[in-house]
Amino acid sequence: MKKLIIFDTTLRDGEQAPGNSMHSSEKLEMALQLEKLGVDVIEAGFAASSSGDFASLKEIAERIKNCTVCSLSRCKKEDIDLAYNALKNAAKKPRLHLFLSTSPLHMQYKLKMSEQQVLDLIRSSVTYARTLFEDVQFSCEDATRSERNFLVNAINTAIECGASTINIPDTVGYSYPEEMKDLFRFLLSSVKDADKVNFAVHCHNDIGLAVANTLAAIEAGATQAELTVNGIGERAGNAALEEVVMALNVRKDFYLTETNINTRQIYPSSQLLSSITGVKIHPTKPLVGKNAFLHESGIHQHGVIANRATYEIISPESLGIIQNDIVLGKHSGKHAFKDFLEGMDVRVSNEELNILFARFKEIADKKKYVTYKDISYLITHTNTTQVEKKFSLLNYGITTICGSAMANITLHTKDGVKADTCTGDGPLDAAFKTINRIIGVEFKLEDWSVNAITEGKDAVGAATLRLSYNGAEATGRGISTDTVEASIRAYLNGCNKLLDILGD
């Protein structure tokens, strides 16, 4: 069995895609979950892209203890310096990820550089980076459309100057599995000292082949895979971490490859990312979609009842989808709640436990029993890293008459309790307008959805929405047995994040 390094780029390649932006507290929350998941490297951002990304990288690097934290960097001294300053106090030895295009198309039209200029820049950048970082990765952007002899020259140059990982990206999702396999075999036999470095694969999903191409590269000898949770990323996304890992797990007999991933954390990681970004998981998404383990066909149902292996090659439990009939109620104490979390393979600090337990008690006061599904969504919709609550809900009232609505909202603010009333086209329109008036900012609602987590009249509803103001965006999350309250909580959650982003 060979060991595959899992390089997670959810917080960099995934987060930079439209609709996936995260608040710094959410990036930290997701990074902590990736640590539980067991990834080897977390590419947590691009230090030179913004002051926010720099600060987020720095915080993550100092908090994460069991994973290497990495920053992307252009082949520019100022980018490398910023990455170093963000990562220099990392709890574990950090990594710098340099990239430069090597395809004729990119060199001519994007870089406007000759082959020799590209080689010179690789040499100077990797050499300088090694004065600051022990661990340097170099990526040949658009590698699958590069001329092979030049690609070998570029890789040889990077290795000579100290790069210890070479990444071969299929930047535009152009390749196909046999071609990817052939490329890796060619490089591993042609590059000088190829056996002394790790070769990574990074595939995009433009024509739906990212996972297949990644697995082909692993079969051919790649020792690192660059992946994202739920396959999020630029355009059609990246190779999905859960699909690649479970393919290797299910077919160990063929790939003879293992990872450090704790598969029981796959489903919680997927759900957390979806709640943070507000992007729903398609029902038929492999492994983590809600239909992945449902069987409607009578023939399938009969087979599964007789032996689950007839139509399930993976057990839901192995992914962290736990069918737990144990329930909690309003009289359950903190110790029982903590034991329940540990039964879900969730480990939290005392501070995080206090935050989650307070939200649990609010829900337990409104419904008879709190189930596994309720607690699962409570975890994913409660940011335990907590952005500052400048405004929080004390109470609300909604009155509807002939299609119009009037909302009375009372908020706790840093200046004391404030209340106001507004009318709107419906309960939520009225509530959101009232909140905007109390805060004094006209936040714009870009997207909103609410889902029932469990069945029955006391089902918990999870609301997710996206707000914008002055070019900044934030996702808000909230849960309650009342969907209006869940939406108001989500709106306030988004408001607090935007105010934090804007420094207001």
pLDDT on residue 294? 62
Question: What's the pLDDT band for 297 if we cut at 50, 70, 90?
Answer: very low
Residue 69 pLDDT more than 50?
yes
Nearest to 320 by CA among 365, 277, 380: 380
- Count CA atoms within 13 Å of residue 324 on its CB side: 20
Q: Are 3 and 258 in contact (CB under 8 A)?
A: yes
pLDDT on residue 337? 85
What's the CA gap between 271 and 88, in Å, rounded?
A: 32
Q: Are 397 and 457 in contact (CB under 8 A)?
A: no
Question: What's the pLDDT band for 387 if we cut at 50, 70, 90?
Answer: low
- Count CA atoms within 13 Å of residue 12 on its CB side: 24
CA distances from 264 to 18, 226, 236, 452 (A): 29, 20, 26, 24
Residue 123 pLDDT more than 70?
yes
* H and E: helices and strands count for the chain: 17, 16
pLDDT on residue 481? 83
pLDDT per position as a tens digit, 301-315: 455 556 666 667 888
CA distances from 261 to 4, 34, 240, 244 (A): 10, 9, 14, 11
What's the CA gap between 399 and 310, in Å, rounded?
A: 54
Q: Which of 104-108, 336-340, 372-376, 437-441 has the lowest mean pLDDT?
A: 372-376
What's the CA gap between 146 and 107, in Å, rounded?
A: 10
- Count CA atoms within 13 Å of residue 150 on its CB side: 21
**Helix, strand, or coil (residue 313):** coil
pLDDT per position as a tens digit, 334-345: 888 888 888 777
What's the CA gap between 31 and 152, in Å, rounded?
A: 34
What's the CA gap between 476 and 492, in Å, rounded?
A: 7
pLDDT on residue 461? 82
Q: Which of 33-37, 360-364, 476-480 has the lowest mean pLDDT?
A: 360-364
pLDDT on residue 290? 84
Which of 21-25, 147-151, 295-299, 410-414 has the highest average model confidence (pLDDT)?
147-151
- Sorted by where each begins, the domain ranges of the chain are 2-277, 291-320, 334-380, 391-502
**What single-letter DSSP state applies at residue 90?**
-
pLDDT higher at 243 or 504: 243
User: What's the CATH code, domain 2-277?
Assistant: 3.20.20.70
Q: Are 237 and 197 in contact (CB under 8 A)?
A: no
Question: What's the pLDDT band for 145 if we cut at 50, 70, 90?
Answer: very high
pLDDT higher at 362 or 436: 436
Do the domains at 2-277 and 391-502 have one common CATH topology? Answer: no
Residue 471 pLDDT more than 70?
yes
pLDDT per position as a tens digit, 189-207: 999 999 999 999 999 999 9
Superfamily of domain 391-502 in CATH is Alpha-isopropylmalate synthase LeuA, regulatory domain (3.30.160.270)
Residue 385 pLDDT more than 70?
no
First and final C-alpha spacing in the chain? 53
pLDDT per position as a tens digit, 227-284: 999 999 999 999 999 999 999 999 999 999 999 999 999 999 999 999 888 888 999 9
Q: Which of 38-42, 231-235, 312-316, 370-374 has the lowest mean pLDDT?
A: 370-374
Mean pLDDT calculated for residue range 1-30: 93
pLDDT above 70 as % of the chain: 92
How many Cβ atoms sit within 10 Å of the Cβ of residue 47? Answer: 26
